[in-house]
């Protein structure tokens, strides 16, 4: 189960890993905590598009369905309202009723219901900083951890059949080393790199731990189709596509994860998110 804040996050974080496990016969469920209703149009080709401006929520539902089909995953909406990304100095207050202002256990109860229904052995989500400090990403982290810890606890979350996932991971993927490798490849091709400013901004930011590297280059094509399905959010000429796919596969063929919790014995570094799980439940019984 991959828990994300908005539609499109599942395609930019761990998407090729999801597609790989689907191809391997694993059931994979993506959960979107919000509908992305307050998202801006980030693709210049769709600026001013009347249908998008009229009903962003419906457009993003359709985009998510297309992305899920590209990856081969199942999908569930958790049903909370996008908080938007506050900007300005001082930052404006978050809008009433949004996901980031929910009580953690109230929001987690909705995710617990999905966990108890789907019964995943492995969950993935964001680290405590949200991957980046978007209020919905930080809330997604809190809710996912609460659900991982509480899905087997009927006193904390009454109702349904209890279930305990066995491993929890935080998404990696935007490490400085990876971006530097792509940056250097673009410069070597004689082009201007879109990553120069990004690297400068992150120069003092500590790197997260990497505990698992999943080889998933064979599924970069599915990842890219899923990304492009989110047409309002992804510019086809943007930084995601500046390094040719084959070159990406040669430079960096893996996606990375940080092991946040494991209830099964495992040795890091791992190459499989189900390390320790397969031995416990058998090859045919894994869900993500």
Binding annotation for Zn(2+): 6, 9, 137
**Nearest of 170, 223, 202 to residue 21 by alpha carbon:** 223
H/E element holding 10?
Answer: helix 9-12
User: How far apart, in Å, are the Cα atoms of 241 and each of 144, 228, 232, 247?
Assistant: 30, 10, 16, 11
Structure tokens at 129: 């900083």
Q: Is 171 helix (H, G, I), strand (E, B) or coil?
A: strand
User: What are the strands of the beta sheet with 254-262, ordered from one edge?
Assistant: 74-80, 29-34, 2-4, 122-125, 167-171, 254-262, 212-215
Peptide bond into 119 cis (omega under 30): no
Instruction: In whole angstroms, give the CA distance from residue 174 to residue 168.
Output: 19
> Which residues line the annotated binding site?
6, 9, 137
Q: Which segments of the chain are extended strands (E)? A: 2-4, 29-34, 74-80, 122-125, 167-171, 212-215, 254-262
């Amino acid at each position: 189960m991959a828990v994300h804040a908005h539609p499109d996050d599942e395609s930019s974080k761990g998407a090729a890993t999801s597609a790989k496990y689907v191809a391997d016969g694993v059931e994979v469920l993506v959960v979107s905590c919000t509908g992305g209703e307050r998202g801006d149009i980030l693709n210049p080709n769709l600026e001013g598009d009347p249908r998008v401006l009229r009903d962003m929520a419906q457009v993003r539902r359709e985009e998510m369905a297309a992305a899920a089909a590209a990856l081969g995953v199942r999908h569930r909406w958790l049903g909370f309202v996008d908080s938007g990304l506050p900007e300005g100095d001082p930052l404006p207050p978050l809008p009433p009723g949004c996901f980031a202002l929910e009580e953690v256990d109230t929001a987690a109860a909705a995710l617990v219901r999905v966990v108890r229904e789907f019964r995943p052995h492995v969950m993935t989500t964001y680290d405590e900083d949200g991957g980046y400090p978007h209020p919905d990403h930080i809330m997604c982290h809190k809710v996912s951890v609460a659900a991982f810890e509480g899905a087997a606890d009927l006193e904390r979350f009454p109702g349904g059949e209890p279930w305990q996932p066995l491993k929890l991971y935080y998404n990696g993927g935007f490490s400085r080393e990876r971006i530097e490798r792509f940056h250097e490849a673009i410069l070597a091709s004689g082009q201007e790199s879109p990553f120069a400013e990004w690297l400068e901004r992150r120069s003092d930011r500590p790197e997260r731990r990497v505990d698992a590297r999943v080889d998933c280059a064979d599924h970069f094509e599915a990842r890219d189709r899923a990304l492009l399905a989110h047409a309002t959010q992804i510019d086809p000429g943007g930084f995601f596509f500046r390094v040719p796919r084959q070159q990406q596969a040669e430079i960096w063929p893996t996606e990375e994860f940080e092991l946040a919790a494991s209830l099964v014995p495992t040795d890091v570094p791992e190459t499989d998110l189900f390390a320790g799980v397969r031995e416990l439940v058998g090859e045919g019984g894994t869900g993500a």
